[in-house]
Amino acid sequence: MIPKNHPRYESLILREKIKKANEEGYLADSGMIAHGRGEAFDYLIGEKTIATAHEAIKAAVATFILAKDPVISVNGNSVALAIDDIINLAKVLNGKIEINLFYRTKERVKIIKNLFEKKGTDVLGSDDDELLFIEDLESPRATASKNGIYSADLVLVSLEDGDRTEILVNSGKKVIAIDLNPLSRTAQMADITIVDNIIRTIPLMIEVANEFKEKDDKYLKMIIANFSNQENLKKSLESIKLK
Ligand code: ATP
Ligand code: MG
């Protein structure tokens, strides 16, 4: 048990969730390393949602609402930390959810699918679906379900690897990334990068989604037009340097 008054309480709770996911068999060992890298960047931004992330969240939600066929891509880390929030976000934004694992095994996919099904939520990307290769790239990094990521016009990725993001971007899809490291290849390649911890970002996206659902397309398009990912990433980096 982690005592509630421990100065690193929140962070230790997240570590416990990641450890548990690894023990339950759906998080690859390298997922624990990815979490550690995220922790370091979270420390540097002050473990709070920075102003640039709030801006990126607005642009991301506006883009999501205007998309025709949006999909939320999930992996072991995102499920371990934020499964309930992901389900709620998909509901509010009418998006599909697809399992997409960098180190894909039948076992891991099955466990994650069960976790969602126990909560009454359908997910794509399991072995029950028709899986295709994006752009015919015969790599396990390019698999996508036919009715999900393969045909999506927008994919929300979190804690994603750069190789995979590159494949999505090169195939002409819009990519929104949640990534604490503004320097990662994923952060640099995505159309909209939210430099924040997934556990803080998704609840904020839900709030903004509820507000933006009432707005007209013109308003949403203006939010998107006023957003520059390059500028936003630059400012995010500056907010790290100031500390
Ligand atoms: P890239 O492959 O994009 O160059 P990388 O190889 O440095 O990045 P990966 O392990 O492939 O890193 O991807 C995981 C990414 O997820 C890292 O950039 C890490 O900072 C980020 N990350 C880890 N935990 C969280 C979290 N809780 N919320 C948001 N991002 C996170
Ligand atoms: Mg990587």
- Going across the sheet that includes 70-74, the strands are 96-99, 70-74, 154-158, 174-178, 192-194
Residue 25 backbone phi and psi in degrees, to 5: 90, 10
The per-residue pLDDT for 131 is 93
Q: Report the DSSP beta bridge partners of residue 227.
A: none
pTM: 0.97
The per-residue pLDDT for 135 is 86
Helix-then-strand count for the chain, H and E: 10, 7
Q: Which residues of 156-172 are buried (b: 16+ CB within 10 A; e: fewer)?
A: bbbbbbeebbbbbbebe
The per-residue pLDDT for 3 is 84
The per-residue pLDDT for 37 is 97
Could you list the pLDDT tens digit for every one of the 243 residues in the chain?
A: 788 888 888 899 999 999 999 999 999 999 999 999 999 999 999 999 999 999 999 999 999 999 999 999 999 999 999 999 999 999 999 999 999 998 899 999 999 999 999 999 999 999 889 999 998 788 877 899 999 999 999 999 999 999 999 999 999 999 999 999 999 999 999 999 999 999 999 999 999 999 999 999 999 999 999 999 999 999 999 988 765
The per-residue pLDDT for 142 is 85
List residues, by chain if needed, whose CB lies under 5 Å from ion ligand 2. 161-162
Label the pairing between strands 131-133 and 143-145.
antiparallel
Q: Is 197 in the pocket of ligand 1 (CB under 6 A)?
A: yes
Residue nearest atom 30 of ligand 1, based on CA coordinates: 179
Helix residue ranges, H only, 26-161: 29-44, 51-66, 76-93, 106-118
User: How close is the Cα of 216 to the center of ligand 1, in Å?
Assistant: 34
Q: Which ligand has the minimum distance to the alpha carbon of residue 32? A: 1
